[in-house]
Structure formats: structure tokens, C-alpha cells
Amino acid sequence: MTDRHHATNVHLERVLQQHLIAKLVAGQGYDERAPDDYDRKSALDQALMLRFVKATQGDEWAKLEAHYSASAEAEFFKNLEKALKSRSTLDVLRNGIKMIPGIKFALCYFKPASALEPKRIKEYEANILSVIQEVEYSQRHDGRVDVVLCVNGIPVATMELKNLLTGSTFKHAERQYRTDRSPGGEPLLTFKRGALVHFAADEDNVSMTTRLANGKTRFLPFNRGREGGAGNPDIEGEFRVAYLYSDGEWGKAIFSREVLLDVIGKFMHLEVNEMKEDVMIFPRFQQLHAVRKMMAHARTHGAGRNYLIQHSAGSGKSNTIGWTAHQAINLHDDTDQPIFNTAVIVTDRIVLDRQLQSTVSQFEQTQGVVKKIDGTSRQLKEAIAKGARIIVTTIQKFSTEHLKEISGQGKRKFAVIVDEAHGSQSGKSAQAMTDALTREASSSDDIEDLIAEYQKQRGPQANISFFAFTATPRNVTLERFGVMGPDGLPHPFHLYSMRQAIEEGFILDVLQNYMTYKAYYQLEKAIEDDPELSGRRGQRKVARFASLHPTAIGQKVEVIVEHFRRHVMKEIDGQAKAMIVTQSREHALKYYFGVRDYIKTQGYTDLKALVAFSGDLTLDGETYTEVDLNGFSETELPGRFDGLKPDGTPYPEKYQILIVAEKYQTGFDQPKLCAMYVDRKLAGLQAVQTLSRLNRTRAGKERTYILDFQNAMEDIQAAFRPYYEATSLEAMSDPNQVYELEGRLFKFGFLDRAEIDRFAQTFYKGPLDGGDRARLEGLVRQAVSRFEAEDDEGNQEEFRQLVRSYMRFYSFVAQVIRLEDTGLEKLYSYSSWLSRLLPNRVLPPDIEITEDMLRLQAFRVEQKEEGSASLSPGDSDPLQAIKEFGAKPYTEDEKKELSEIVKAFNDRHGTDFTEADMIRFEQVNREVLTDDMTEMLRNNPPDVVYAAFRDAFFQGAIRMFQRDNEMRNIVLTDAAARDKATRHFFGRALREVRES
């Protein structure tokens, strides 16, 4: 009975195994080999290897026999085993082996880039793919591996297969590898020396690993994804894992000759780490599928197409970008012509992403292919001019004068790979990049022709394909790069969703533990019926007064610190960290003092906090900086908060809490963050990016916590919905809005078409000299004079905002659609000058609320909502089309800071400047806030981008105040005063950019 039951189970266990082997043999051309064909000692199918070598390299084998006579085979395998052990299976398959005297054997032939090489095609087809089942791999025991796949007798993959009908799953197969497949002393299972990858599978799911390490073995999902989440979809008449062994709508099978050899030859990579152990990279399914799908489409359709790749955090984006670049430059069409001459990888970050640089360079198999432009723009110009194959650069470098000298690239074809594609791709830098890669010497003297050509260059270009990567596409990103679907709306070309990344365990669900608090306060008015306190503006001031009150801060601090100690601190073996996100610099400072004092009062010696905010901050007559409070430089903060020095040794002091205002809410990668305490309003993409600081995984981190004092749970869920699965659009933006904006601008009576035409005659004729610039400014000042004569400040402010809205919307629309209206282009270039010369709005007088005016009678913080805010499958909302254009007035915090700056200027220099004088700096801001600077501010941490802003602001201030000696002298000579003003307007610029 027992024996019969066991036999039945074995039979059932092997259903998937037998099916897979039958499909590989019948459908993929595999040889099925017997278990006895496998040699345990060498971990090779020696007979098959000899068959391959003698059939494909007979001349070399003859040399071997002539030199070694009867011991030829023994010498061959001795040298092969030595190479496998010292160099790795991957290297031997790619580069073969050499033997004395000058005998070279290729052990695998990879598919040539060109199909017009018959000899190389024949060699590729001569590879022998084979499969062996029930392989007794060990010399020490009778342990077996279900399936081994070989290329020319060299094992490349092992598999443990389970059957759901017997109650065993791929998880049981993973456990089997961890507990019964010790790699010690086993060449088949030894890292680098043995098989390249090990698969655990059942009929529904597949996982894989490239390193067996007993109980520490980590398996990664190798699934296609199911309806936006983890797993695999149903396949009619087949197991869900049929993509491993059969061709289908997913393309060629993973174990087909085409894909398997492609992975070995182009994807797999040994990542050598000095500080940690080496890693063998085998692509996850979405990486492999995305790259192969993009390359297949580009091979068929050529250059000039766009590809939006929506891959979540945790998708391995850097690797996917690296593979895309290397494969794009080796892509040929059916006539052996290259599809792309050069791949340009661009990022919005000012400092070139080191991880991205490193990853792209590591995939380099030929020295010198990758050019990393981390120097000057001259370096970028030379790389393009000399036809570099792969260029890695920041997008800002395209906006310099050096790049304007480049022409004649229009006949070359470029694959432009965009890292984190957001709004920057409709900005000035993106236009400068397109110009540099398409510009030809002008052949016309007619201004209208020149303008039409300039406008044409804004649109889609036949010689440029964009491969745009992002986890959170905006509406403009979808319209710019998305693939038009049957519904007439743009969609991602390839998707690896946030939901799938969460379900597969590559990122954490940050909404899993969400708690909201509501602050209640009663204010006793000491001054009754104060007209200044009525209305929305007065109410905002009162609310701010209450939120900054020591009682309010104190109660929130108690909630935060006690929650952290009770629920968070023990995570990650006591290494857990938290971030407090505040609404202003003053809030951050008061929180810092509140946390510091509460910790001291309670005697919590195991807790310490850091604070991060930009510039100087004056509170109660004292001036503070981040550096003074923390005791070390801004650049040290990430490492100090992490606890490790650059050399990997620990700092003596440990910090658990980081209090921030603007800084570190985006682009800050700290896997030890387990909790976030939110005391500022968050909405849309800002909410997703801020809270996603928590989603990084690390050993021992199983859950995250969010306590929110400002936002409702449903508002946060609404922010995440568009990005949880595939991001979609409700409708396309109406391009005709550009004409509506144009019409509204002319209705004010400030603009004159004849002046705009005269402006264009000079602006587009070529390089501008000093006289040209004076002439252009004179023309624009005529409109400025009409604007200044307007009595209605509301009309003035509406016009200011419409000018900027027109510029943003036109530059976007012109990239998506080929426009043929030079009037729009003229108005755009004219508006870029006008927006910088328009005078700024006058601020209303400030209301200073004091304790004498208002007393906080009672304040309490109460828990409101608690539980999971996690989204469910299918829980998504489309993004809205572009249709609103609004203003950004000064915030209360900015007004107060401005008055402090004016006072500091006057106190230091005996001047009598007013806030109206200081607001003239806003005009400098308008000049500095080019599209280029806007995207730098949007996509870089404030401490990184400040230096670039400071330099541009300084130059702009000198130009503006050249006729105002008193102000100019202060700007030139007083670094402290200048820095105070610069940081204020930097904060203004940062807020405007990030909230727009």
C-alpha cells in the first residue's frame, strides 16, 4: 500500500517534468540525454561536448591531437575544468579556452548582430542544447536534481519541479535547494563554477537564484505578472509556466535557443563587489521581456519611435537601462544597417547617478564603448562629435553654448534612454538635446523658414527614439512617450507595476499601517473683532499660529516619540529609523527642539534626532543653521543618519529620527526607514514620492508605519491610485488650448503683434551680440510699459501667470504634435523675455499674530483613523488631462522670512530698504527659473541643486542692480546678506517648481 502510494506520488510529481522535457525536445530542438551521460566529477556531459567541438572546430581538434596524441581528450577536459573553476562558467561560454600551442576552442556560438554572415549563423545553429532528468550530481551521496539544461555539454540551469496536485509548490522546491542541495564540494552547484541559474517551479509559478548558499539562498520571482499583480496568467490548454518551454504571445520561450543564448551572451553579468560578495545577475522576467520587446519593435520599425517603460521601484531599473543601451547599439535591420548609431542615457540629476554609471559600464564587454560625461559639457560635445557608442550624461549639459556648435548629426540615429522621465522632457534642456542630435547647417536666409524649421525641431524626430523609464508617469509623460491604444489614449509600452513589486516582495507596501490624528484647538481672542483676522487669509495665519504653538508641537512630539519607542524602534534588530515631515523650516526647527527636549526630560538616552532645512533661520532672536544644530556638514548627514562611515565602520553616535522641511522627501534612499510622521499637506505625486521613502526593503524589515497629522487616509489613497497598477489618462489634453491661451494673452492689450514680429526678426537670425540683446529688450519693454500702466493688480497677476502657462503648454504641445504655425513659436520666444522683465506683484501687508492677540485656550491631538490604507487589485484612477493654469502667491512662511531679510539688510548696512525693494529680487528669480533650472530644482535634492541656483542668482542680481549702486554693493561685498536673500528666493523657486 505504502509503496504503491509512493509510486503514484512520484508519477504525479513528474507530470510537469515530463511535459517540460517533451516540449523542449519536440518544440525547441533539445537533445534528451540519459542520466549516465552526465559526469559527476567534472559536472559535464563530456561526450556531447566532444561532439560539438569536433563538429564545429575540426581543424583545432586536429592540432590538439597532433600535439597531445592519445591524451588529447584528457588534456582538453583538464584545461576546461581549470578554466571553469578559475574564470567561471559564464566567462568560458563567452570566451572559450586556449591551450598550448595557440589552440583556441569556442564553447558556445552566439547569434550575430547581422543576419548577413552565413558562417556565423551556421556556427550559432550548431550549438547543441540538451536536457537531462533525474541527474545524480554528487560524488558523496545519491542526491538528484530533477532537470539539468546544458549548452554544448556545459550545465547552464538546474530545476526542481513540483506538482500542485500532490500538495507541493515551488516554495517546496526552494526549500529543497536550501536544505538538500548544499553547494559545498559539488561542481554543478558551486557559484560561478557550476550552473548559471537554478529554477524552482510548479505549474503556476517560477522563481530563480544564481547562488546556492544553503539556508541563506535567496530566490527571486521569475513570473510574468497576473492582471497587474504577482503570479502568471492562465494559458489556454497549458500550464501557466508554459513561457519557459513554449513560444506564445509572450514571444519565444525562455529556454528556446534564441532566448537562452541571448541571456547568456548579452544579459548575464558577474557583478564584482569589493565590500560584499560577488553577485551573478540573471534578468528577472520583466527586465528580459521589456528589453527584448523594445529591441524587436525597434528592429521592425526603425528609429523615431517612443517607448514608455513604467517600472516600479524595485524593478531593477538601472540594469534594464544598461541592457537597453548595450543592445540598442548592436541592433541591425534585415539589410545589415544599424538601427541606432549611439545610445544616450540622460538623467535629470545634477550629479550623474553613480549607480547608473557603474551598472552601464559593468555590462561593457568591449573597452571604451561607454563614455561617462561627469566633467564639462565640452566632454559631451566631443563624445557626440566623435560618434561615441554609449553616452551617459545629465540632461542639463545639453543647454550649454558648446552644444550649440554641433550640427550634422541628423543623419545619425540615436536611442535616447531617459532615466526618471517626468516633466523635464518638455523643457528647455530636452529641446536643447533634440537640437544637438538633429541640427543641420541652415540653408535659408528667410526668417519665416528658419522659425518653421526651429518649430519643426521641437516635434518628433525621425532619427531619435526615446526609451523613457519611470515608476510614476505624469500626464505629460504619458502623452509624450506613451503608445496609443485602441481607446485613443496613450499607455505604457511595458509595465511592471507598484502592485506587482509589492506582491513579489521587492518593495514594501507603505500604506499597510496608516494612522491619522486630528488636532483640535480653541483660541481665545484677546482682541475682539479684529478686521485683519477675518477672512481666509486671517484664518490661515491663526491656524499657523496654533500649529507652531509650543503646546501643539509638544503634544505631537509626545505621540511621535512614544509611538516610535513602542512600535518601531525594535524593527531591524533595533536599527529602525524614522522621518518627521514638517510643513516649513520653522516647524522643523521647533519640532527638533521639541523632540530633543522631550527625549532629555524622559531620560531616553538611546534616542537622538537630526534636523534638515536650508539656509539660516531666525527664531526668537536667535539664528540657526542645520550644520550648527547637527554638528557636522550637510553632505555628512545621510551617512551619519545611516550610522556608517564611507569605509563601512560605524560612527560612535547613533541617530534614529530625522526631521525635515523639503529636504530628503524625494531621492533619499535609506532602507532602515521604518516610520514616517507627517505634519504637512501632501497631494498627488508629491504624496507618493514622499511616502515612498519608506518602501525600500532590507533584511529584518517587515513592516512600515505612517502617522499623519494633516491628511485623511482617503486623500493619500487617492494620490497612490494612479500609480498602483498601469497609469492611464482620463482624456488627452486638448492641443487647441494653446490658441485659447494665445487669445487670452492678447485680450489684455499689453501685446503688439508687430513688435513680436520685429522681435523675431532679430531673435532668430543667429547668434546674438550686445546690440541685438539691447534691441530685443527695448522691444519687450514697450509691452512692460503698457503692463505697468494697468491699474488693476488682478489683471496684472492673471497676465503674469498666463504668460508662464503659455510657455509651459506650448513647449509640451510642440513636442507631441508637429505644429505648422510660426506665430506660436514667435510668441513663445518673445514670452521667454517678457516673463523675465515684467515687474513683480506687490505683497499685501503682513499680519503678525502674537500671544497678546490670541491665546491658545485648549489643544489636544486625538487619533482619528487607524488600519491599512493599502490599495486593492483594480483600485486605480486615471490622471487628468492638462487643463488648469493657476497662480502661486507668497506663503505666510515666505512673507515672514522676507521681512526678516529686509530687517537684517537694514540693520547691517544702515539702509532703509522696504519689502517692496526686496521683492525686486523676484525678477531675478524669473530670469533664473529657465526650464533648465526648473527641472534641476524638481529632480534634485535641495542641497545638491542650491550651488547651481546660487551662482545663477548672483549673476542675475548683478545685472538687475547695475544701476542701483547701494543694492549692488551689498550683493557684491556682503556674502552673509547675499546668502540670506539667495536662500529665501531659492526656497520660493523650489516651492513653485515642486507644486506646479
Grid coordinates given for 256: 528556446
**Residues 959-975 pLDDT 10s:** 666 556 666 666 677 77
Residue 303 confidence (pLDDT) above 60? yes
**Residues 399-453 pLDDT 10s:** 776 677 677 777 889 999 998 766 455 566 777 788 778 777 665 667 888 888 8
- Report how far residue 180's alpha carbon sits from residue 196's, in angstroms, rounded to the nearest whole number: 19
* pLDDT-based confidence at residue 230 (cuts at 50, 70, 90): very high
Q: What is the pLDDT of residue 617?
A: 85
8 A C-beta contact, residue 889 and residue 898? no
Residue 321 confidence (pLDDT) above 50? yes
> Residues for the chain: how many in total?
996
* pLDDT-based confidence at residue 889 (cuts at 50, 70, 90): very low
Residue 570 confidence (pLDDT) above 80? yes
Residue 704 confidence (pLDDT) above 70? yes
**Residues 118-176 pLDDT 10s:** 899 999 999 999 999 999 999 888 889 999 999 999 999 999 999 998 899 999 999 99
| Run of H or E including 46 | helix 46-56
Q: Which of 430-439, 699-708, 769-778 has the lowest mean pLDDT?
A: 430-439
Residue 355 confidence (pLDDT) above 80? no
Q: What is the pLDDT of residue 985?
A: 74
Residue 953 confidence (pLDDT) above 60? yes
Q: What is the 8-class DSSP label of residue 567?
A: I
Q: How many CB atoms lie within 10 A of CB 542?
A: 18
**Residues 830-884 pLDDT 10s:** 998 998 888 876 655 556 666 666 677 677 888 888 889 888 898 888 888 877 6
Average pLDDT, the chain: 85
Q: How many CB atoms lie within 10 A of CB 524?
A: 9
Residue 731 confidence (pLDDT) above 60? yes
Q: How far, CA to CA in Å, does 346 sit from each of 325, 350, 420, 424, 476?
A: 11, 11, 9, 11, 18
Write out the E strands in 269-333: 269-271, 279-281, 306-311
Q: What is the pLDDT of residue 888?
A: 46
**Residues 357-396 pLDDT 10s:** 777 777 766 677 888 887 778 888 888 888 889 988 888 7
Of 78-92, 545-559, 736-750, highest mean pLDDT: 78-92
Which stretches within 643-752 are classed as H helix? 684-691, 713-724, 737-747
* pLDDT-based confidence at residue 817 (cuts at 50, 70, 90): confident
8 A C-beta contact, residue 571 and residue 668? no
**Residues 203-224 pLDDT 10s:** 999 999 999 999 999 999 999 9
Q: What is the pLDDT of residue 257?
A: 97
Grid coordinates given for 286: 520583466
What 3-state DSSP class applies to 850? coil
More confident position, 90 or 948: 90
More confident position, 682 or 7: 682
* pLDDT-based confidence at residue 904 (cuts at 50, 70, 90): low
Of 249-258, 789-798, 804-813, highest mean pLDDT: 249-258
What single-letter amino acid sits at 381?
K
Residue 5 confidence (pLDDT) above 70? no
Residue 36 confidence (pLDDT) above 60? yes
Residue with cell 537670425: 765
Q: What is the pLDDT of residue 812?
A: 86
Angle between helix 822-837 and 793-816 (nearest 10) = 140
**Residues 323-350 pLDDT 10s:** 999 999 999 988 889 999 999 998 876 5
| Of 172, 194, 181, 160, residue with least CA distance to 38 | 194
Paired sense of beta strands 279-281 and 269-271, if any? antiparallel
8 A C-beta contact, residue 568 and residue 608? no
| Run of H or E including 860 | strand 854-867
Q: Which of 261-270, 496-505, 686-695, 758-767 has the lowest mean pLDDT?
A: 758-767
Q: How far, CA to CA in Å, does 271 sit from each of 30, 171, 323, 505, 915?
A: 30, 27, 14, 22, 57
Q: What is the pLDDT of residue 27?
A: 95
**Residues 99-131 pLDDT 10s:** 998 999 999 999 987 777 789 999 999 999 999
Residue with cell 564553447: 107
User: In percent, how much of the chain has pLDDT > 90?
Assistant: 51
What single-letter amino acid sits at 422?
H
Number of H helices, E strands in the chain: 38, 29
* pLDDT-based confidence at residue 921 (cuts at 50, 70, 90): low
The partner residues of 867 in beta bridges, in order of sequence, read 514
Q: What is the pLDDT of residue 844?
A: 57
Region 192-204: mean pLDDT is 97
8 A C-beta contact, residue 229 and residue 237? no
Grid coordinates given for 971: 550683493
Grid coordinates given for 788: 505697468
